[in-house]
Amino acid sequence: MSLEVKIFFLSQNGGILAFFYQIALRDDISVEVWNLKPSKYNNILL
């Protein structure tokens, strides 16, 4: 088992107001970054 980290950003005017992360055990390691403001960076799988 490995580690999966999901990071959610609430951003305004280019700054991060708040964020939270959720960790779960998975078969592989993945980090997903979600920008909740419309941008080309939404749902980037690192």
State pLDDT tens for residues 10-25.
555 444 444 444 555 5
pLDDT at 5 over 50: yes
* Mean pLDDT, residues 27-31 taken together: 53
Q: Is the dihedral of CA 3, 8, 42, 11 positive or negative?
A: negative
Output the pTM of the full model: 0.21
- Dihedral of the alpha carbons of 30, 36, 8, 1, in degrees to the nearest 10: -20
* Mean pLDDT, residues 32-40 taken together: 54
Total structural domains within the chain: 1
pLDDT for 26 equals 53
Q: Which domain holds residue 17?
A: 2-45
pLDDT at 32 over 50: yes
Rounded Cα distance, 31 and 7, in Å: 8
pLDDT for 34 equals 55
Phi/psi of residue 14, each to 5°? 80, 0
